[in-house]
Amino acid sequence: MNTHQPPSAGTTPFWRNKTGIVLIMLLAIGLFYLAREHFSHIAGNWPYLILLMCPLMHIFGHGHGGHGRHGESPVNRRDQEGP
């Protein structure tokens, strides 16, 4: 027995009704104050965070170009990459 009814054409999405807008604004205000209060903790560690980003970008980054073409010469790679 299928009791699920499709939404009628007059219903609005959650983020467009009054309750959704209020909750989204409260969440945005809360995130702003959370970030503002904890910024001083993060600001003192910027050099370490930047250094930590380097290995993470090498592990999780996939936009380096040239990976997977180890058997080709550099001249052939330039010809295939285009202008």
pLDDT in tens, 24-62: 999 999 999 998 988 888 888 888 888 988 888 888 886
- Tokens read off for 53: 């980003």
DSSP string, 2-44: ----PPPTT---GGGSHHHHHHHHHHHHHHHHHHHHHHHHHHT
| Mean pLDDT in residue range 8-18 | 78
Q: Between 46 and 80, whose confidence is greater?
A: 46
pLDDT of res. 71: 58
Tell me if the pTM is above 0.75.
no
pLDDT of res. 28: 96
